[in-house]
Amino acid sequence: MEITILTYGLQQSQDNPIRQGFAPPRFRVVQSSNDTDLVDMLRETRAQIIVLGLSGADGDKVLEQVRRIRATHHDLPIVVISRMSSEARATAAFRAGVDDYFKEPISREQLLGRIGDLLLHQSAPGVRPPPQPPLMIGTSETIRATRDYIIRAAATQSTVLITGETGTGKELAARLIHHYSCHAAKPLIAVNCAALPESLAESELFGYERGAFTGALEARKGKFALAEGSTLFLDEIGDMTPYIQAKILHAIEEKVVYPLGCKKPVTLDVRVVAATNRDLEHLVEQQQFRGDLYYRLNIARVHLPPLRDRREDIPDLVQHGICDLNRRFGRRVAGMTDDALGFLHNYPWPGNVRELLNLLESTYISLSGDAASERIGLDDLPPRFRQQAARRYGSPESEVRQVIVSALTQTNWNKSRAARKLNWSRMTLYRKMSRLKISETRPPDPHKTFSSM
């Protein structure tokens, strides 16, 4: 079924995410002019979703349209894309009734995934949502390059090796590869290799025939056979024993498996994606991982950076997590205060994105009713997290001070540039500098001071 998207206030540039991929026959995009009454347009177009552009000039006008729509269309998904984002603007948008709020730039994949998710929860009958790519949140140069490479690698049939620390999103990357591959119509088959006992690994991966061993009352397909014509994701491949590694290598190279108790090979068409948080090169040197399997897997290599190396993505990840938790908890939290974001920005995140999202969920569980429609502040974060962070990395105030001084130093004490680097307004930076007693002028050079004495 064709899905109608009604847009308002979006720039008609080539990098407009709506223009990049929302095309017939799956989508019909209706662009309304700035003087259009959207309530009237909804009656004419019967749109299933609205995407609004928010700029400084017409922000109040757009949000007033949102309020009028909400008065008559309670369940219609509304997404806002803001060119000049701020906490105040995000708060106003959520209070007006939008379902999600993005700041530019936003990728087509991120917007498509969110639209699909909103349509899944829409009550209108007969609407079939578009396929949803998993969301790899972030606009940093590192994560953009990673997303682009994943999409290019997905179009091939090559094996893919995904590396990265625990919590960086290796399974998400595997699902993104599967989504953009020619096998997307079939389900991804995932195996946690670390959870497979050696005694069961062979039968789980390759299956068995009836009577192959005591208790095998009927034949059973293994994970390779279940992934026929699709993608097999081998998570934590570095934890497999050398014997199973040899079996996996043979299955990948020869495209056949031998179920236990079966003397004839079973031919398969399976695309293998493997992942590990271990250093396979080091394991190969230590003869703990087969070199031939490593080279067979390491054709397309995707490395997911730790969160501490892409801290600029933390505000986007926080906002995405808040939008998701608002739906799950039935709340309308608008965002996070500058103090809380500044603290999160300087925390090293040993558990990476997973730790950040778990922290947000823990915060929602203990969030008081009075704060359920406001912004999450530093005091709303779980006490155990704040105590641990203060004990290991310094107090929140000292961390915020360090973040500010670092940004000022990197920008040669240019406060406008430092505020942009911190994703704050200039007035917010001034206010924090005053409260933390950070001098508003660049400190004197101690060498010059000494030489003049």
CATH classification of the domain holding 195: 3.40.50.300
Same domain for 127 and 226: no
- Residue 74 belongs to domain with CATH number: 3.40.50.2300
| Residue 229 CA from chain centroid, whole number | 27
Residue 33 CA, distance from chain mean position = 32
Q: Are residues 21 and 159 in the same domain?
A: no
Mark whether 191 and 123 lie in a shared domain: no
Q: Is residue 226 part of a domain?
A: yes
Domain end marker among 131, 158, 186 = 131
- C-alpha distance from residue 394 to each of 326, 342, 389, 390 (Å): 31, 13, 7, 4
Q: What is the pLDDT of residue 369?
A: 62
User: What is the span of the domain harbouring residue 119?
Assistant: 1-131
Q: Are residues 148 and 49 in the same domain?
A: no
Are residues 168 and 249 part of one domain?
yes
Q: Is residue 148 part of a domain?
A: yes
CA 32, 37, 41 angle in degrees (round to 5)? 60
- Centroid of chain to Cα 362: 18
With respect to residue 370, please indicate whether it lies within any of the assigned structural domains: no
- Stretches in the chain below the pLDDT threshold 50: 13-14, 123-130, 446-453
**Span 410-452, pLDDT tens digits:** 888 888 888 888 777 787 788 778 877 787 555 555 444 444 4
Verify that 164 and 64 share a domain, yes or no: no
| Helices and strands (H and E) in the chain: how many | 20, 14
**What pLDDT, on the 0 to 100 scale, is given for residue 123?**
43
Q: Is residue 9 part of a domain?
A: yes
Q: Are 182 and 278 in contact (CB under 8 A)?
A: no
In a domain, 160, yes or no: yes
If asked whether residues 127 and 167 sit together in one domain, one would say: no
Same domain, 120 and 145: no
Of how many residues is the chain composed? 453
In a domain, 117, yes or no: yes
pLDDT for position 255: 92
Task: Report the SS3 class of residue 6.
Answer: strand
Residues 146 and 207 in one domain: yes
Whether residue 320 is contained in a domain is answered as no
- Identify whether residues 171 and 284 lie together within a single domain: yes
The amino acid sitting at 59 is G
CA atoms within 13 A on the CB side of 61: 14
The interaxial angle of helices 396-410 and 338-346, nearest 10 deg, is: 80
Same domain, 169 and 237: yes
Residue pair 260/214 in contact (Cβ under 8 Å)? The answer is no
pLDDT digits (tens, 9 = 90+) for 221-260: 889 999 999 999 999 999 999 999 999 999 999 999 988 8
Boundary (domain end) residue, out of 86, 112, 131? 131
Q: How many domains does the chain have?
A: 2
State the pLDDT at residue 23.
65
Pairing status of strand 49-54 against strand 3-8: parallel
If you compute the radius of gyration of the chain from its CA atoms, what whole number of angstroms results? 26
At which of 105, 131, 157 does a domain end? 131
H-assigned helices in 155-194:
170-179
My answer on whether 242 and 175 are in the same domain is: yes
